[in-house]
Amino acid sequence: MAEAKKEFPKRHQWAPPNGVVRWTHCLVCGVIQRRDGHQSACKGPVKVALRDGQ
Ligand SMILES: [Zn+2]
């Protein structure tokens, strides 16, 4: 099977704990890795945008 869409990797890009985040976390979406492995696919970069009027 060939995947045509590859806007971002669906696998989390796990990063080790650091001074900011104490747990293994995804560099892309920022989710914390679960110990039980029941992790959903990576949803891609989280865009934090402020809207005017809020
Ligand atoms: Zn992720």
CA–CA distance, 28 with 49 (Å, rounded to integer): 16
Residue 15 has pLDDT above 90, yes or no: yes
| Separation in Å, CA 20 to CA 10, 15, 17, 24, 32 | 24, 12, 8, 11, 13
Measured in Å, residue 10 CA sits from the centre of ligand 1 at 7
pLDDT of residue 6: 64
Question: Over 90: is that where the pLDDT of 8 sits?
Answer: no
CA of 41 to the centre of ligand 1 (A): 7
pTM of the model: 0.66
Confidence of residue 1 (pLDDT cuts 50, 70, 90): low
Counting DSSP H helices and E strands in the chain, the numbers are 0, 2
At 18-54, the pLDDT tens digits run 998 899 999 999 999 999 989 999 988 877 777 776 5
Determine the distance separating the centroid of ligand 1 and the alpha carbon of 25, expressed in angstroms.
8
For the chain, percent helix, then strand, then coil, each to nearest 5? 0, 10, 90
**Residue with structure tokens 């976390």?**
25
